[in-house]
Structure 1
Amino acid sequence: MNRAAFAGLSPAAKLLVINQFGINVGFYMLMPFLAAYLSGNLGYGAAVVGLVLGVRNLSQQGMFLLGGTAADRLGCRPMIIVGCALRVVSFGLFAAFTSLPGVFAAAILTGLAGALFNPAVRTYLMHEAGERRAEVFAVFNVFQHAGTLVGPLLGAVLLAVDFRLIALVACAAFAALTVAQLCVLPHRAVEAQRQSVLGSWREVVSNRRFLGFTLSLSAYFALYNQLYLMLPLEAQRVSGAAWSIALVFGVSTVIGVFGQVRITEWCRRRWSSGRSIVLGLLCMGGSFLPVLLAAPALPELLPWEGPAGVVLAFAPVVVSVVLFTVGQAMTNPFAMELLPEIGSERLAGTYYGFYYLVSSLVAAGVSWLAGALLEAFPEPGARWLPWAALLLVGLAGSAGTWVLERRGALGRAPETAVA
């Protein structure tokens, strides 16, 4: 990471990006190992495990809009603190309870915590960033990536002792973050809202260009989820080794940590924010071309055994991950910059919350579609189908953003006057 980029942040922004590193360390320390713990240690069936994970996702995704609205009306700082404090409670429940009601309570509170602090953190950071929003969100992404790398590694070490130790350490990490925010994170004045909660929601859903941007940009989250679904599955299929999944995340994280700020600066010098998103989504969608072309042919291309065959089979996945992460780095900071400008800085939390809610629903649908195509057409010759669907999602998102850019719809919106 460019140290000068971090040094240029305000003290509050520095605390927020370090806070995000801690949040990702605590979260990814526990969540990747939860399914194995529930099924292996506690003996719950696959359906129950899937239900627990689904409830956690639903409690977070379904509450994003409420969390963002609360940030606008009660303040970002209280929502960040309450969200981290809820993570202390929820991860403590994972350590204390093995019964199904206790596990469900922990899962629900974990999701609710994320719904409270995710829009609030981004809204606070948006206000702190001033005119350098894309650059500040680029630094934010670097710390996110670093936390995503450190968390599972630390969790794997602790898992050798006991899963409950992971939960307790994660609980302690969130407790430390909560105290740090209470002591250090500055208060920000809460702008008085000129309309009711329902009125602010009505403003969001009646903002046609924001809805168009949200639908186009939802392709980003739909594709981003494939870093945790389709790409790891393909990596393990072609290599036959569990280490390949770690390599997928490792390649993505290294690019994110060391390349994010440079990629954002490079895009800033050449293109507008909207054009950077157009090309970033195009790159994310196009990243699936190597595996689309290689997947059906791999059984015929690998008559050899040993390292040479594994390297040849794994190369398309690595190329896809590299292109995917570059596209992600091109897209996200500028998307975070434009969302409140297309929407409203006065209701930035509500707009962020609505965007995350819609994107989560679209991402769930696209992930289901990719998985369904993979299961419905298992024969080698049809392995290109899921990747073609993901390519089309990226092209659709890129095309939608391009249309908005051409129509001049990605500039700053005038604030709506409300009687």
Structure 2
Amino acid sequence: MLPVTVRARRAGKRFLLLDNMLLELGFSVVFPLMSVHFVEHLGWPAVIVGISLAIWQFIQSGTSILGGAIADRFGVRPMLVLGMLLRAAGFGLMAYADRAWILMLACALAAIGGMLFSPCRAALVIKLVRPRERGRFFSILMVEDSAFRVLGALLGTWLLLNYDFQRVCFAGMVMFILSAGWNAWKLPDYKLSSVRAPVAAGIARAFKDKRFRRYVMILTGYYTLNVQVMLMLPLAVKAMSGTTEAVGWMYAIGAVMALVLLYPLARWSECHFRLEQRLMFGLGLMALSLMLVGYVDTLMVLFTLVICFYLGSLIAEPARETLSAELADFRARGSYVGFSRMGAAVGGALGYSGGGWLFDIGTHSATPALPWLILGAIGLLTLLALFMQFRKHPTPMADLSSL
């Protein structure tokens, strides 16, 4: 018979994979279609939707260190269940958003829910998966994310075209309610960290880690680019194609690429490159792809650049997630995972609000390439900062001899 710890790890990993399906499906039904619905269908300025998404991103990621520290102190299950119910309430309110302040409030409510459950789930991966297996497990989760992301986007598109945006929001709300029930019923009451330190102590430990703090802040630029797959790229595809279905196909392409390439790429690259090398190469490809979007005039070329952007993300994202886990202190896993979201908070807020603002400026001033050039420049500056960060202290190559 297998040892108890081995059986617990395997059961925990199976639970995470099943739970992740519901979460990704519920999120992807609603989120990718927000910019299309409010900007293209209702005619709102893109900057309003951008600010709403920035509120979401900043609250969820900027306060994740608090959610992680609370989970370090009190355990995982209460935070997960409460967070998922708040996310469901946010989607329910979004169904009735006919004014900007209602949309912003709905995004804030959904974000508070994410602040509670997101760092808990990431810290559970660090707890339940051995270090040498984390890169591959993160890759499996991302393959699953991609599969259910396209299912969610296609379901949301079908609901939007055949019914209305309210049905889209209700579908997302139901998924998160089901996930909350699943966690309340089946999830053991795990403790994330090796010590039960006060909430403030875990937060302080993460803030005082100079190397980790610098790495998190550098990732601001990475997230500024990464969030454009939810804002500017869908708007560009919709504007050039003239149809909402093309946005669904854009996400379908990303999902197929992830299903086919993500795990093999991760397996191959971890044998030949260090984590930071993989992150930098992927980021460079993302930056160059965005820089060229403003100069295309056919949908085929635009989709080619989208494919290049997705490829860069497939290379960079597993490395970024694994690198964040490797740099985390086991004495405060939740706090470290929460603090690692700070780059996503700042970068996502800048990417959404700044991207929406730049998109409006580019449209009204007949300079469509301007937003994309600025995004590309941000990516290249981030690339330089990452190089400087790891030049003197590179990470070791993965030890795969025991696998």
Is this a same-fold pair by TM over 0.5? yes
Out of 176-185 and 321-330, give the one that drifted further.
Answer: 176-185
Over 3 Å counting, the alpha-carbon distance change for 1:48 and 1:324 in structure 2 is: closer
Once residues 10 and 125 of structure 2 are traced to their aligned partners in structure 1, the CA distance between those partners, rounded to angstroms, is 10
Change (3 A) 1:411 1:197: farther
Structure 1 partner of 2:279: 277
Task: Tell me the distance in 2 between the aligned counterparts of 1:165 and 1:290.
Answer: 36
The C-alpha deviation readout for 1:7-39, integer Å capped at 9, x for no partner, is xx8232222122122112112323455678789
Distance 1:277 1:57, change over 3 A: closer
Aligned to 1:407: 392
Does the 8 Å CA contact 2:276/2:319 hold for their aligned counterparts? yes
Q: Report what 1:262 is aligned to.
A: 264
Gaps of 5+ in 2: 1-8, 398-403
Give the match's secondary structure for 1:347: helix
Asked if 2 retains the 8 angstrom alpha-carbon contact of 1:76 and 1:123, the reply is no
Unaligned runs of 5+ in 1: 1-8, 299-312, 413-419
Q: State the partner residue of 1:145.
A: 146
Displacement of 1:52: 5.8
The corresponding residue for 2:133 is 132
Pick closer, same or farther for the CA change 1:197–1:315 going to 2, 3 Å.
same
2:401 is matched with which residue?
A: none
* Structure 1 residues 233 and 104, CA gap change in structure 2 (3 angstroms): closer
TM-score of the pair, normalised by structure 1? 0.79
How far apart, in 2, do the equivalents of 1:254 and 1:52 lie?
A: 29
TM-score normalized by structure 2? 0.82
Question: Contact 2:69–2:200 at 8 Å: present in 1 too?
Answer: no
- The answer to whether 1:393 aligns with 2:395 is no
Question: In structure 2, what is the equivalent of residue 324 of structure 1?
Answer: 309
| Greater radius of gyration (CA) | 1
Partners of 2:102 and 2:366 in 1: CA distance: 45
Q: What aligned pairs does 1:215-364 form with structure 2 within 5 A after superposition?
A: 215-291=217-293, 294-295=295-296, 298=297, 313-364=298-349
Contact kept in structure 2, 1:75 and 1:189, CA below 8 Å? yes
1:16 matched to 2:16? The reply is yes
Partner of 2:183: 181
Deviation at 1:289, TM superposition (A): 4.5
Instruction: Quickly say closer, same or farther: Cα 1:318–1:254, change in 2 above 3 A.
Output: same
CA distance in 2: counterparts of 1:242 and 1:360, whole angstroms:
28
Provide the aligned length of Structure 1 versus Structure 2: 386
Could you say if the C-alpha distance between residues 179 and 66 of structure 1 is closer, same or farther in structure 2, counting changes exceeding 3 Å? same
Change (3 A) 1:18 1:408: same
Comparing 340-349 and 50-59, the one that deviates more: 50-59
Paired residue secondary structure (2:311)? helix
Determine if contact 2:227/2:348 at 8 Å carries over to the other structure. yes
1:262 to 1:40, Cα distance in 2 relative to 1, 3 A: closer
- d(CA) in 1 for partners of 2:172 and 2:149? 13
C-alpha offsets along residues 279-336 of structure 1, whole Å, 9 cap, x if unaligned? Answer: 11112112224435x34xx4xxxxxxxxxxxxxx123322221111111111111211
Question: In the alignment, which residue of structure 1 is the partner of 2:82?
Answer: 82
2:60/2:113 contact within 8 Å kept: yes
Separation in 2 of the partners of 1:343 and 1:60?
20
> 2: distance between equivalents of 1:106 and 1:148?
21
User: Post-superposition shift, 1:74?
Assistant: 1.8
Matched residue, 2:25: 25
* Alignment deviations for residues 127-167 of structure 1 (CA, whole Å, 9 cap, x no partner): 22212111111111112122221123223444434555444
RMSD of equivalent CA atoms? 3.5
Conservation of the 8 A alpha-carbon contact between 1:68 and 1:349: yes
* Greater length-normalized contact order (CA 8 Å, ≥ 6 residues apart): 2
Displacement of 1:115 after TM fit? Answer: 1.1
Of 175-184 and 185-194, more deviation after overlay is shown by 185-194
